[in-house]
Amino acid sequence: MAEDRLSGNRIIEEAIAALHEQGGVQALDAVAEAFRKRISDNAELVIPVMQPETAVKSMRPGKGAGTNGLSDLRLLQMQSDDGKRWNVAFTSLEEASKGEKTTTVTIPMENVLRGAKDFKQEAGIAINPFGKAFLFSKELIEKTLAGERTAPLENKILFDIGDITKMDIECIVNAANSSLLGGGGVDGAIHRAAGKELLEECRELHGCKTGQAKITKGYNLKAKHIIHTVGPVYHGKESDAQLLAACYQNSLELARQNNIHSIAFPAISTGIYGYPKEEAATIALAVAAGWIATHKDYGMVIVFSCFDRETYDIYQKVLKENA
Ligand code: AR6
């Protein structure tokens, strides 16, 4: 049992490793999320301690030690380059063994993190300082415990040229067909990149009507979620525009219901479904701007993923014309 309480901390180590590799607010959010998950699993952390009678000895590269709420035990501390002092905690005994040999105790993760609110001189907790370190600041700990996002909320419309399946964003939108069972174009690319588990989840959704949207996990994508929407096949009728607008509107609404704050859209219907790109871009931009205007306090970053330069230029042209 005690082992589970530590071994499951691997998800924290993985999230920290991803933060080291990729950086960015999403990766930081993922670390906070991993801590929250482990708290709900009653996980523990390994804390290096010294008996009170032991001479105060610093951990490399730390300076000094302080008492910190945990009965009489002295916690080992370390100092970062900017002179800030940090308590030390490890996600596993293995991480602890990477440093100087010391006595350790395991303590419920929630108690360790809740203790941070009483820190006076300490900036926070240095997690795994001898491996892939994460300096968990007091402010970030408090946000994490409160279940708040670590990334600031903002409203923005952005444009990206390239493959939507590679994007580092919370959610990407798929221009699917009503079966939701995959197809060509961006749909095919998303299914290939996400892996076959996506198809399994899609089977459970029993299709989707034109203009509507459904959500799945992102599986092997960097994006945690995929919203599948079905654009209209272009016939040049008024209802085409209404259905295309509904795709964007319903996707944004579904994103909000799932606490998603960044989303990338492909140019829905403008490939196999034959919607003229400029008309489609006008609708997409109008819905996005309208949605942000009516949800100012929510904070949504909307990215239009343009597969090629031509699509990007069309969005920019429409943007200028409507400015
Ligand atoms: N990243 C970003 N955009 C892409 C990518 C990509 N990897 N691949 C294509 N696009 P389409 P539709 C652009 O045909 O018109 C499927 O078979 C592409 O250049 O993918 O809504 C479904 O299963 C174009 O601008 O979607 C449906 O049966 C845009 O994505 C049908 O196609 C949409 O093109 C849906 O047709």
| Nearest protein Cα to ligand 1, atom 9 | 186
Output the CA 186–ligand 1 centroid distance in Å: 4
CA distance 88 to 139: 16
Q: What is the pLDDT of residue 52?
A: 53
Q: Does the beta carbon of 270 sit less than 6 angstroms from any atom of ligand 1? A: yes
Residue 55: its pLDDT value, please?
Answer: 37
Neighbours of 30 (CB within 10 A): 20
Q: For position 151, what pLDDT does the model report? A: 67
pLDDT of residue 56: 42
Q: Are strands 225-230 and 103-108 parallel, antiparallel or unpaired?
A: unpaired
pLDDT(59) > 50: no
Q: What is the mean pLDDT of residues 34-46?
A: 95
CA 189 – ligand 1 centroid, Å: 9
Convert the pLDDT of each residue in 301-314 to its tens digit. Answer: 999 999 999 999 99
pLDDT band at 50, cuts 50/70/90?
A: confident
Strand ordering across the sheet containing 262-265: 156-161, 301-306, 262-265, 171-176, 225-230, 213-217
Q: 3-state DSSP call for residue 21?
A: helix
69 has a pLDDT exceeding 50: no
202 CA distance to ligand 1 middle (Å): 18
Share of residues in the chain with pLDDT > 90 (%): 79
pLDDT in tens, 279-298: 999 999 999 999 999 998 88
pLDDT at 96 over 90: yes
Does residue 111 carry a pLDDT above 80?
A: yes
Name the pLDDT band for 73 (thresholds 50, 70, 90): low
CA proximity to 194, closest of 209, 182, 212: 182
Examine the pLDDT at 253 and tell me if it is beyond 70.
Answer: yes
pLDDT tens digits, residue range 113-156? 999 999 989 999 999 999 999 999 999 999 999 987 766 678 99
Ligand 1 lined by 186 (C-beta under 6 Å): yes
Mean pLDDT of 261-278: 97
Contact 131, 98 (CB under 8 A): yes
pLDDT band at 6 (very low <50, low <70, confident <90, very high): very high
Token output for 176? 């699917």
pLDDT at 58: 39
Mean pLDDT value across residues 237-265: 96
What separation in Å is there between the alpha carbon of 310 and the centre of ligand 1? 15
pLDDT at 54 over 60: no
Average pLDDT, the chain: 90
**Measured distance CA(272)–CA(249) in Å, rounded:** 21
Q: How far is CA 218 from CA 150, 202, 256, 312, in A?
A: 21, 11, 17, 25
77 lines ligand 1 (CB under 6 A): no
Ordered domains of the chain (ranges, CATH): 4-146 (no CATH), 156-321 (3.40.220.10)
Q: Is the pTM of this model over 0.85?
A: no
Q: Is residue 208 very low, low, confident or very high in pLDDT (cuts 50, 70, 90)? A: very high
User: 229 CA distance to ligand 1 centroid (A)?
Assistant: 11
Index of the ligand 1 atom closest to the CA of residue 275: 15
Q: pLDDT tens-digit profile of 254-266?
A: 999 998 999 999 9
